[in-house]
Amino acid sequence: MKHFDVVIVGGGLAGSALAIALGRAGRSVALIEAAPRQTGAPPGFDDRTLVVNAASLNILANLGILDSRPTACDIRQIEITRAGAPGHLTLNAGDYGYKRFGAVIVARELGAAMLQALERTEGVEEFCPASLAGFESTDKAVRLPLEDGRALTTDLLVGADGTHSMVRELAGMSSHHHDYGQSAMIFNVLTEKRRPDSAFERFTPDGPLALLPQPAGRMGVVWIDDSHRIDSVLAADDDELTRRLQQRFGTGLGRFERPGRRANYPLALLRTERPIARRTVVIGNAANTVHPVSAQGFNLGLRDVAALADVIASCDDPGSSEALARYLEARRHDQQSTVAYTDTLARAFTNPSLTGQLASTLGLVAHAAWPSLSRRLVRSAMGFREPVSSLAREWTA
């Protein structure tokens, strides 16, 4: 029975990033992933467009994940509007002393870059394909039998196994769930007017719509609506899809043409107030799954990774109650604030009541009128809410 300092269940983006961080720090790590790597489709390695904020870019760069240079489109300007109501907020990175707010990377490309970085990282042993059969925690270690009959032991078990986390459930961590009754449809489209470094967030009565820069003059579309309406748009032909997109977004980017392949994802909120148990912690979507409005989910998970790496680097026993308490304290405010912010936006900008519409409109106007509000919004959205982990600080070659 082999022993590891840390065992990570879930080899998606968050789990792989943590394995790289801990391996580079000299820890022995086992990474358990159920999906065979040769399929090219482990969890999270798909066609979604990821908005990677500045702090997350620092984390990825510090871990060497960007060494293979996945295609990244910088975001230097963000335009936020509301359909059928006043309020227009334009944010320019230069006004806040930054070169960029972040960048857009396709999840599949980032996943490929992560696998290359994993191959270069010593101290990480992959068990793939392999599935956890359960686990037993004691004061001194965690024993993990696998479905294939093998067994491992570890000082710390990390669940990075997504919203429906087996690790979280078996550890008895209580979570709050909310089904938004919405889905996100993802595709890309060619635009007549090119804005290669701009991102757009438009709030409509039916749900938010984001357009994100991609190479070759295309824009990645994240279209959020009630699930039954998303189903009807998925079934529409390309002409009808672009007509509806034009109606929803407006004419600011000219005509939309040649939409790409569509995919949809149901949206729900999951909040785990206390994502730790005896010698066990859950991170990323396994701890907190948020609405994609404001594109915070992936970035929140990477900040979990960076904070946990900081804690483990400074202790002899990574699974000790003291280490887990330090992690919980380091992440409490950021997790709580990010979940509350995204949930408030998701509800406020789809609120059909006159009071709700007025409140959300006034929020946009206030941020446009008072720079201090915008500055606070920008720094938080870029991932620099205190305490900032060492990995999230500016990368120096």
Phi, psi of 378 (to 5 degrees): -65, -50
Q: What's the pLDDT at 40?
A: 45
Distance CA 344, CA 256 (A): 30
**Number of domains into which the chain is organized:** 1
| 363, part of any domain | no
Residue 255 lies in a domain: no
Q: Tokens standing for 37?
A: 């790597």
pLDDT value at position 77? 94
Contact 45, 38 (CB under 8 A): no
Q: What is the pLDDT along the chain (397 residues), one digit of tens a residue?
A: 899 999 999 999 999 999 999 999 999 999 999 998 764 444 444 567 789 999 999 999 999 999 988 989 999 999 988 887 666 788 899 988 889 999 999 888 999 999 999 999 999 999 999 999 999 999 999 999 999 999 999 999 999 999 999 999 999 999 999 999 999 999 999 999 988 899 998 888 888 899 999 988 899 999 999 999 999 999 999 999 999 999 999 999 999 999 999 999 999 999 999 999 999 999 999 999 998 876 788 999 999 999 999 999 989 999 999 999 999 999 999 999 999 988 887 776 554 544 444 444 444 444 444 445 467 778 888 999 999 999 999 754 4
Is 324 within a domain? yes
Structure tokens at 170: 């078996």
* Angle (nearest 5°) at CA 7 between 6 and 10: 135
What type of residue is 249? Answer: F
Burial of 200 (0-12, 13-18, 19+ CB in 10 A): buried
pTM as predicted: 0.90
Q: Beta strand pairing status for 151-159 and 280-282?
A: parallel
Q: Is 207 left (phi over 0), alpha (psi -120 to 50) or beta?
A: left
> Residue 91: beta bridge partners?
78
Tokens 């910088």 belong to residue: 74
Provide the residue type at 22 as one letter. L
> What's the CATH code of the domain at 334?
3.50.50.60
On whether residue 86 sits in a domain, the answer given is no
Report residue 75: phi and psi, to 5°: -110, 115
In-domain check, residue 395: no
Q: What is the 3-state secondary structure (H, E, C) of the chain?
A: CEEEEEEEECCCHHHHHHHHHHHHCCCCEEEECCCCHHHCCCCCCCCCEEEEEHHHHHHHHHCCHHHHCCCCEEECEEEEEECCCCCEEEEEHHHHCCCCCEEEEEHHHHHHHHHHHHHCCCCEEEECCCCECCCEECCCCEEEEECCCCEEEEEEEEECCCCCCHHHHHHCCCCEEEEEEEEEEEEEEEECCCCCCEEEEEEECCEEEEEEECCCCEEEEEEEEEHHHHHHHHCCCHHHHHHHHHHHHCCCCCCEECCCCCEEEEEEEEECCCCEECCEEECHHHCEECCCCCCCHHHHHHHHHHHHHHHHHCCCCCCCHHHHHHHHHHHHHHHHHHHHHHHHHHHHCCCCCHHHHHHHHHHHHHHHHCHHHHHHHHHHHCCCCCCCCCCCCCCCC
Residue 248 in contact with residue 258, Cβ under 8 Å?
no
386 falls within a domain: no
Is residue 167 situated within a structural domain? yes
Q: Please report whether residue 277 resides in a domain.
A: yes
Report the 10 Å Cβ neighbour count for 344: 14
* Cα distance between residue 223 and residue 187, in whole Å: 9
- Range of 332's domain? 2-45+55-69+105-177+268-358
pLDDT score of 368: 45
Compute how many other C-beta atoms are within 10 angstroms of the C-beta atom of residue 251: 9
Which single residue is written with the structure tokens 């029975």?
A: 1
